Chain A
Amino acid sequence: MNSSAPAPKEPEMQRLPKHDLSPLKFDQRRGSPAARAWDDFRGASKLWRLGVMLGWLDIKLRYRGSALGPFWLTITSAIMVASMGVLYSRLFHQDMKVYLPFLALSLTLWQTGLSSLLQESCTSFLDAESIIRSSRLPLLLQAIRVVVRNAIVFAHNIIVPVGVFAIYHVWPGSTALLALPSLLLWGLDGFAACMLLGSLCARFRDVPPIIGALLQIVFYVTPVIWQPQQLAGKARYLLYNPFYALLEVVRAPLLGHIPSIGVWLVALLTSAVFWVIAIWAFVRVRSRLVFWI
């Protein structure tokens, strides 16, 4: 029956790969859970292009049919910053020239940075149910996807603080470059969040609302809309809030300050601990994740 295959199709098909270029060498059953999780990680990093593409397509889909696309986000946050800036500079008796750039940057970093990264990491595996259940792709590919997606949204929103900086002639200088390694740290933490929260939320569906509620509390106790100086002498206690340190390592350089050693240490230590927990959790549950989603 095979000899009857039509001749014209052959040359076309021959140019396609002869073998499935599977990203993962098939060696499940030969290794500890940790080794298999490592295989997953290596497979995902080999497929990073696919991860980037998935993240990009997510954004494209979200805004398909709207002329402004992701810039809707930019407009929303611009309006939010403008209205909150006017109100809170009154409430806090702050000078608009100082407060508005701070608020614009803070809000953007919090909303489209830390907060959205953590919240979206919850559904990293759940959102990819059909792809995970039907093909053997590295799970961590979804983590790349979430981080990339958030990075794109972040890049669109950072325009708001940049605009406010321009209006008030605030220029952080070359110190701002220090924010780049910190943003990389955020990306890595986002990846870890997908491993930990993504797994946890796949198993327990009531976790995402819990995370959302916690983030709401963290938003108020972390100096996002208020400035650390407003605490006066008590500001040192802020170091016990890891979110403050994580926010500050990006925010301070962008405002032209160099973060203190203490802030750096807390941010790095928190991230390291978070990573260890995330890896531990992912190694333990990786093989069972597919049954949960």
Chain B
Amino acid sequence: MTHIRLENLSLSFPVLHGASRSLKKTLLARAKATVTKPASVGGRMRLGAVASDAVLVQALSGLTFQINGGERIGLIGHNGAGKTTLLRVLAGIYETDDGYLDIEGDSHALIDPQSGMNPELSGRENLNLFACRIGLPKGQLPALEADVEAFAELGPFFDLPVRLYSSGMSIRLGFALATVPRPRILLMDEWFMAGDQRFQEKAKERMAGMVDAAEILVVTSHSLPVLKQWCTRILWMEEGQIRMDGPTDTVLEAYEASLA
């Protein structure tokens, strides 16, 4: 049975910069740390004990919820509330040993429109790479190529490097590729809302097929109409925690009230 279950899941990660990037300085700092006590600041960030300027960010803390098959979840919250981080955790890109995570069912994440695309390669080469990545049988490649070429409307650009594409073109290509698999769990960041009106309409059709096939959808968005249309349940996130979890209308009302 397809489901996602989180129990008291937390995730913190280091933001490395400056001296914490240097092996020499880190070794020195560690030697020093054995003599002096490591500094710590309260709140959401604390200074790491190892290198003096490695900052540990508490991105998610104490998340507990369960998503069952058939549910369409919307993640809402301010920038930096942990929405994309949560998606990455659900996608298996970020791992944490803090808490419990149980996921049943294959998942596919649409996190970055350029997801794994090499800007130096042509659209066609990127498509071949993608086909290889999802293990598409050789015989289906022409069908995929025709499908993507038609959707992305690249014309002669299909054989030119992706870095020469307009942003619209690369989003269309990324979107066309990303929507090929039919996973049981679909995780989607808000980028798919980008693009002009015409793209939005085309995208909607393609998206609908994919969302329909998925048993669980988790999508982040700032657009309330989109969430109202697609989701049956909303998780409102704030500072890496769940502020509210409930049916779409209830949570969005409260969210709107908090913004007002």
Q: Which residues of A contact B (CB under 8 A)?
A: 1-2, 4-6, 9, 12-13, 15-24, 26, 28-29, 36, 47, 49-50, 53-54, 57, 61, 64, 130-137, 200, 203-207, 210, 287-288, 290-292
Q: Are B21 and A135 in contact (CB under 8 A)?
A: no
Nearest-Cβ distance from residue B58 to partner chain A, whole angstroms: 13
Residues of A within 8 Å of B168, CB to CB, are none
Whether B253 is near chain A, meaning CB under 8 Å from some CB there, is no
A26 touches which of B16, B103, B134 (Cβ 8 Å): B103
Q: Are B107 and A9 in contact (CB under 8 A)?
A: no
Q: Which residues of A contact B183 (CB under 8 A)?
A: 19-20, 22
A134 contacts B125, CB within 8 Å? Answer: no
Q: Is the CB of A13 within 8 A of B23?
A: no
Q: Which residues of chain B have a CB within 8 Å of any CB of chain A?
A: 13-14, 16, 21-24, 26, 88, 91-97, 100-103, 105-109, 111-112, 114-118, 120-121, 125, 128-129, 132-136, 140, 143-144, 146-147, 180-184, 204-205, 208-209, 211-213, 229
CB proximity of A193 to chain B, nearest CB, Å: 17
CB–CB A26/B143 < 8 A: no
A144 to B95, CA, bound (A): 23
A61 to chain B, nearest CB (A): 5
Contact B144 A20, beta carbon cutoff 8 Å: no
In the bound complex, CA of A36 to CA of B101 (Å): 14
Q: Output the least CB separation between A47 and chain B (Å).
A: 7
Do residues B205 and A135 form an inter-chain contact, with CB atoms below 8 A?
no
Does B133 contact A12, Cβ atoms closer than 8 Å? Answer: no
Instruction: From B95, B100, B136, give the contact of A16 (CB < 8 A).
Output: B136
Q: How far is the CB of B82 from chain A (nearest CB, A)?
A: 15
Chain B proximity of A24: nearest CB distance (Å): 8
Residues of A contacting B120 in the complex (Cβ-Cβ under 8 angstroms): 61, 64
Q: Judge whether A136 and B140 touch: CB under 8 Å.
A: no
Q: In the complex the two chains form, what is the Cα distance from A288 to B181 in whole Å?
A: 28
What are 29 A-B interface contacts by the 8 Å CB criterion?
A: A1-B208, A9-B147, A12-B143, A15-B140, A16-B136, A16-B180, A17-B182, A18-B182, A18-B213, A20-B106, A20-B182, A23-B135, A26-B107, A28-B95, A29-B95, A29-B101, A36-B95, A50-B129, A50-B133, A131-B116, A132-B93, A133-B112, A134-B114, A205-B22, A206-B24, A288-B13, A290-B95, A291-B13, A292-B16
